[in-house]
Amino acid sequence: MSIPHIGDVLPNFEAPATGDKAVKLSDYRGKFVVLYFYPKDSTPGCTLEGQDFRDNIERFSALNAVILGVSRDSLKSHENFKCKQEFPFDLLSDTDESLCQLFDVIKMKNMYGKQVRGIERSTFLIDPHGALVREWRKVSVKGHCEQVLSALTELSGH
């Protein structure tokens, strides 16, 4: 499948998640899904981003939205990160990069002067019918959670 565009209904992807689950997109029919991709568990920016979503979970829930974080880290790493940060949402492990490829978030990045393949911090908002309605690429953590909440508020008519 080609990279999804705004308005496209997404395939019913499935990925292993924290809590010993396999999460499918169809599990969340009838709800908005905030799918955020981040580079690595327990790094400063990724921790801050997760904490912003955590600290606003009630606002997301009030707008009929669930949050799912995705990185290439193992489930063990995710469980530790989720527990330590008390995230009230699941983290999906994409070790085979299938979700990363679907959403085209693997990019060449400079790290300490070297070119490395990594996840470009990105967030996708999926509507209750499984269609992609908003996307944010090259996300800057500061203020991002508010941008997502603002889009959700607009889309849900609240």
The angle subtended at Cα 24 by Cα 23 and Cα 28, nearest 5°, is 100
Q: Which residue has the tokens 């996840």?
A: 119
Burial class for 51, CB neighbours closer than 10 Å (0-12, 13-18, 19+) = middle
Q: Could you tell me the CA-to-CA distances from 94 to 19, 75, 115 in Å, in that order?
A: 15, 9, 21
DSSP 8-state assignment for residue 89: S
Catalytic residues: 46
Cα distance between the two ends of the chain? 34
